[in-house]
Amino acid sequence: ALALSLAPVSIAAKREVKIGAVFPMTGPVATYGQESVNGIKLALKKINQEGKVSINLTVEDNKSEPQESANAVTKLINSDQVDAIIGSVASSNTLAGAPIAQTNKVPLLTPASTNEKVTMTGDYISRTCFTDAFQGVVMAKFAYENLKKRKMAIIIDNSSDYSKGLSKVFKKKFKELGGKLVSDEDFAYIQKDTDFRSLLRKIKRTKPDAIFLPGYYTEVGLILKQARQMGLNMPFLGGDGWDSPTLQKLAGAAVSGNYISSHFAPDDKDPRVQAFVKEYEAAYGQKPGVMAALGYDGILVMANAISNAKSTKRSDIQAAILATKGFVGVTGAITIDGNRNASKSAVVLETTPSGNVFNTKVNP
Ligand code: PHE
C-alpha cells in the first residue's frame, strides 16, 4: 500500500505586526495627517502584497494638538498593544508623545518632525527625515547667497517648537554669513491667530529686504495675503511647514515669489519619484504632496526593518530600524545615523499659485 505522507507545505513565516499611527486628521494642520495616511496606505498595499510582513494599522487623530498626541500614544500602547508607532508631523505633537513611547520601550519613528529635540528623547525615538539644523542652514544660505538678501526680519510661531528651533538655526547662519536682522527680537504670533496686520505694520517700518517665516501653512497663507495687501512685496522664505496644497488656496496670488525648503519635489525628474507620483495619482486622483511622500517612505523603512529584525519583539524591531542604511525612498536615500536622524538632501522650492516648483537640491 502506498503511504501518503502529508508533508507540510513550506511557507516562509509571515510576520504579523500591529503598528499605531498618530497623525493630525483634523485641526489647523489636517492636510499633513490626511496626506501622510494616504501615503502610508499606498505603501501598505505593496508591503502586504509582497508577503514578508503583514502590517495591521491603527490610525489615531491627534487633532493637531500636543495633549491629544500624548493621549493617542498612550492608547495605542495600553489598549491596542502595538509593536511600533509611526508619527507624528508637527514637532510639538511628536515631542508630547515620544516620552511615553520611550518609557514603554515602544519604537516610535516620525516621518516628518524636524526639530532637533525629537530624537534626543531617547533610544526608541528615530526619524526618516532631515532635521532643522540642516534645513535652517539651507535657507540662510539660499537667502544670502542665491537671493543676495542682507537685512531680514524673522516672524515666528511662538506655539511651535519647530518654528522656534528653525528660526534660531537660520538666524545664527545668516549672521555668520554676514547678514543683518532688523531686530534682535523675533516678531511673533501663535497658532490659530488670523489677523497679522499690526505685526506686519511694525515689520514694514523696519524695511527688511526679505522675511523668514518658519510657520505652518494655515497661518502662513493668511500672513502672505495680508502682507501683499499692505504692500510688503519682498520675498518671504519658509521651511517645510508651508508645504501643503492648502497654502495655495489660502494665499492665492500672494503665494508668488517666495521660497521654501522641503523634502520632496513632485516635479523631480527622478524615475522613482515619477513612478510614485503616477501610482499616487491613480489611487487618489491628485498629485502627492510632501507629506504623502514622507509617510510612504516612513512606513516602508519600518516594514523593511521588521522583515530584517531578529524577531517581532519591540527591542528587535528598534534595533533593525536603527540599522537602516541607504534605503532608497521617494524622498531620497535614508540612513539612520548615530543620533537616530536621517541625513538626506533638501530641496528649495519656489511657491507659485499652481504649486511648488523645484529650484535647487542641497546635499547634506
Ligand atoms: N517639519 C515640521 C515639524 O517638525 C513638520 C512638517 C514636515 C510639515 C513636512 C510639513 C512637511 O513640525
Cell of 115: 526639530
Q: What is the three-class DSSP state of 362? A: strand
Query: What is the number of helices (H) and of strands (E) in the chain?
Result: 12, 15
- % of residues, the chain, pLDDT over 70: 96
Which residues lie closer than 8 Å to 13 by C-beta, 6 or more apart?
none
Go through 303-342 and write b for each residue having 16 or more CB atoms within 10 A of its CB, e for each that does not: bbbbebbeeeebebbbbbbbebeebebbbbebebeeebbb
Q: Are 35 and 74 in contact (CB under 8 A)?
A: no
> Which residue's CA is minimally distant from atom 12 of ligand 1?
90
pLDDT tens-place string over residues 99-120: 999 999 999 999 999 999 999 9
> Which residue's CA is minimally distant from atom 7 of ligand 1?
112
pLDDT tens-place string over residues 298-315: 999 999 999 999 999 999
ipTM of this predicted structure:
0.99
d(CA 10, CA 48): 19
Please give the model's pTM, rounded to 2 decimal places. Answer: 0.95
Go through 172-184 and write b for each residue having 16 or more CB atoms within 10 A of its CB, e for each that does not: ebbeeeebebbee
What was the pLDDT predicted at 1?
Answer: 54
Q: Are 69 and 97 in contact (CB under 8 A)?
A: yes
Q: Which of 92, 128, 139, 162 to mutate to test the pocket of ligand 1 (most atoms within 8 A of CB)?
A: 162
What was the pLDDT predicted at 11?
Answer: 56
Q: How many angstroms separate the most distant Cα atoms in the chain?
A: 101
> Which residue's CA is minimally distant from atom 11 of ligand 1?
240
pLDDT-based confidence at residue 4 (cuts at 50, 70, 90)? low
Ligand 1 midpoint to CA 90 (Å):
5
